[in-house]
Amino acid sequence: MTALRRLDSRLVFFVLIAAFVLVIVVYPLVQVFLRSLLVDGSWSLRNYEAVFGRPRNYIALWNSVWVSLAATALATVIGTLAAFVVQRTDVPLKTLLRFMLILPFAIPPLFAAMGWVQLAGPVGLLTQAWKSLTGAATAPWTIYGAGGIIFVLGITKYPFVFITVAGALQRMDASLEEAARTSGAGTGRIMRDITLPLVRPAILGGALLAFVSCIDNFGIPAVLGLRVQFQVLTTRIYEALTIPDLPLATAMSMLLVVLAGIAVWLLGKFEGRRGEHAIIGGKSIRPHIIRLRGARPWVALALFAAAIVIVVLPVFALLVTAIQPYYGAPLNPETITMRNFEAVLNSSAAQRGIRNSLTLAPIAATILVIVTALLAYLNVKAKVRGAKLLDGIGMVPFALPGSVIGVGMILAWSNPPIGPTLYGTLWILLVAYLMRYMAYGLRSCRASLMQIHDSLEEAASTSGASRLRTMRDVTLPLMRPGMIAAWVLIFMSAYHELTVSALIWSARNETVGVWIFVMQDSGFPGRASALAIAILPIILIMFMITQWLSADRSAI
Amino acid sequence: MGVTIQVEGLTKRFGSMTAVDGISFAMEEHEFFSLVGPSGCGKTTTLRCVAGLETADEGRIGIKGTVVYASAERIDVPTHERAIGMVFQNYAVWPHMNVFDNVAYPLRLKRASRTEQQRRVGHVLEMLGMEALAKRKPSQLSGGQQQRVALGRALVGEPDVLLLDEPLSNLDAKLREHMRVELKRIQRETGIPILYVTHDQLEALAMSDRIAVMNEGSIHQVASPIEIYERPATKFVLDFIGSVNYLPGELLRVGVDTVDLRVAGGATLTLPRPSFVPEAREILLAVRPEDLVLGESVPGSDLRARVELRSFLGNLCEYRLRCQGHELRVQTGKEELVPEGTDVVVGVRRGYLLERAAAQDATARAS
A279/B95 CB distance under 8 A: yes
pLDDT of residue A424: 86
On chain A, the residues whose CB falls within 8 A of the CB of B146 are 280
B121 lies within 8 A of chain A by CB: no
Residue A104: is the preceding peptide bond cis (ω within 30°)? no
| A346 backbone φψ class: left, alpha, beta (φ>0; ψ -120 to 50) | alpha
Nearest CA in chain B to A200: B96
Beta carbons of B38 and B199 less than 8 angstroms apart: yes
pLDDT value for A278:
43
Report CB contact under 8 Å: A182, B44.
Answer: no
The strand order across the sheet containing B194-198 reads B84-87, B161-165, B194-198, B32-36, B210-215, B218-223
* Cα A272 from Cα B137, distance rounded (Å): 15
**Distance of alpha carbon A189 from alpha carbon A187, whole angstroms:** 6
pLDDT band at A116 (very low <50, low <70, confident <90, very high): very high
Using CB atoms, pick whichever of B106, B143, B170 lies closest to residue A184. Answer: B106
Residue A45 has pLDDT above 80, yes or no: yes
Tell me the nearest-neighbour CA distance from B90 into chain A, angstroms. Answer: 5
From the number of C-beta atoms within 10 Å of its C-beta (0-12, 13-18, 19+), residue A211 rates as buried
Contact B88 A193 (CB under 8 A): no
DSSP states along A208-219: HHHHHHHHH--H
Nearest residue on chain A to B106, alpha-carbon basis: A183
Contact A248, A225 (CB under 8 A): no
In chain B, the residue whose alpha carbon lies closest to the alpha carbon of A276 is B139
Separation in Å, CA A362 to CA A24, A121, A337, A530: 18, 36, 33, 24
CB contact under 8 A, A175 and B92: yes
Q: Are strands B84-87 and B161-165 parallel, antiparallel or unpaired?
A: parallel
**Residue A315 and residue A34: Cα distance in Å, rounded?**
43
Read off the pLDDT of residues A212-235 as tens digits, 9 standing for 90 and up. 999 999 999 999 999 899 999 999
**Interface touch A186/B80, C-beta < 8 Å:** yes
Q: Is B109 an 8 Å CB contact of chain A?
A: yes
Q: Work out whether the CA dihedral A323, A329, A334, A339 comes out positive or negative.
A: negative
With residue A202 as reference, give the H or E element that holds it: helix A196-216
Please tell me which of the candidates B88, B96, B109 has its beta carbon nearest to residue A178: B88
Query: Which residues on chain B are in Cβ contact (under 8 Å) with A291?
Result: none
Q: Which residue of B has its CA nearest to A201?
A: B96
What is the average per-residue pLDDT within A446-466? Answer: 81
The answer to whether the CB atoms of A184 and B157 lie below 8 A apart is: yes
Residue A466's pLDDT is 79
Distance from CA of B172 to the nearest CA of A (A): 14
Name the nearest CA neighbour of B196 among B105, B65, B88.
B88
Rounded to a whole number of angstroms, the distance between the first and last alpha carbons of chain B is 30
pLDDT greater than 60 at residue A263: yes
Does the distance separating the beta carbons of B143 and A185 come in below 8 Å? no
The pLDDT confidence band at residue A276, using thresholds 50, 70 and 90, is very low
Q: Do A283 and B154 touch (CB under 8 A)?
A: no
Q: Note the pLDDT of residue A286.
A: 65
The full length of chain B comes to 367
Residue A180 with chain B: CB contacts under 8 Å: 94, 105
What's residue A442's pLDDT?
Answer: 93
Question: Closest to B79 (Cβ–Cβ): which among A182, A193, A282?
Answer: A182
Give the chain B residue whose CA is nearest to the CA of A281. Answer: B90
Kindly list the residues from chain A whose CB atom is less than 8 angstroms away from the CB atom of residue B170.
280, 282
For residue range A511-524, what is the model confidence (pLDDT) as tens digits? Answer: 999 999 999 999 89
Res A56 pLDDT > 90: no
pLDDT of residue A552: 60
Separation CA A466–CA A457 (nearest Å): 10
Show the low-confidence residues of chain B (pLDDT under 70). Answer: 1, 264, 367
What pLDDT was estimated at residue A279? 43
Residues of A in contact with B88 (CB under 8 A): 175, 178-179, 282
What is residue A8's predicted lDDT score, i.e. its pLDDT?
Answer: 66
For the residues A302-319, what does the mean pLDDT come to? 91
Determine the pLDDT at residue A283. 45
**pLDDT tens profile A385-412:** 889 999 999 988 988 889 999 999 999 9
For residue B105, the model assigns a pLDDT of: 92
A1 pLDDT higher than 50 = no
pLDDT value at A82 more than 70 = yes
Q: Torsions phi, psi of B138, nearest 5?
A: -55, -35
B101 touches chain A (CB under 8 A): no
The pLDDT, as a whole number, for residue A168 is: 87
CA-based nearest residue to A307, from A66, A518, A105: A105
Q: What is the mean pLDDT of residues A442-449?
A: 89
- CB contacts, 8 Å: A194 with chain B: 94
Residue B51, pLDDT score:
92
Distance from CA of A185 to the nearest CA of B (A): 5
Q: Cα distance from B84 to chain A (closest Cα, Å)?
A: 6
Buried b (16+ CB within 10 A) or exposed e, B89-106: bbbbbbbbbbbbbbbbbb
Quote the percentage of chain A above a pLDDT of 70: 94
**Residues forming a β-bridge with B211:** B34, B223
Does the predicted TM-score (pTM) go above 0.90? no
ipTM: 0.78
Please name the member of A184, A197, A280 whose beta carbon is closest to the beta carbon of B143.
A280
SS3 A338: coil
**Beta carbons of B90 and A175 less than 8 Å apart:** yes
Question: A191: which chain B residues are within 8 Å (Cβ-Cβ)?
Answer: none
Residue of A nearest to B153 (CA): A183
Interatomic CA distance for residues B294 and B328, integer angstroms = 11
Judge whether A433 and A497 are in contact, CB under 8 Å.
yes
Query: In B, which residues are within 8 Å of A178 by CB distance?
Result: 51, 53, 79, 86, 88, 92
- pLDDT at residue number B266: 77
Distance to chain B for A177, nearest Cα, Å? 8
A283·B94 Cβ contact <8 A? no
Question: Can you tell me the distance from the alpha carbon of A79 to that of A66, in angstroms, rounded to the nearest whole number?
Answer: 19
The rounded Cα B146 to chain-centroid distance in angstroms is 23
Contacts of B275 (CB under 8 A, 6+ apart): B231, B367
Q: Could you tell me if B142 lies within 8 Å of chain A, comparing CB atoms?
A: no
* Record: contact B153-A194, CB cut-off 8 A: no
Please write the tens of the pLDDT for every residue from A174-223. 889 999 999 999 888 999 999 999 898 889 989 998 999 999 999 999 99
Using 50, 70 and 90 to split pLDDT, how confident is the model at A5?
low
* Contact between chains at A189 and B109 (C-beta distance less than 8 A): yes
**Across all residues in chain A, what is the average pLDDT?**
87
CB contact under 8 A, A179 and B110: no
pLDDT greater than 60 at residue A275: no
Which pLDDT belongs to residue A383? 83
At residue A282, the pLDDT reads 42
Interface list for B 170-209 with A (CB within 8 A): 170
Among chain A, residues having any CB pair with chain B shorter than 8 Å are 173, 175-176, 178-186, 189, 193-194, 197-198, 276-283
At residue A224, the pLDDT reads: 95
* Nearest residue, CB atoms, A282 vs list B51, B90, B163: B90
- Cβ pair B53:A194 closer than 8 A: no
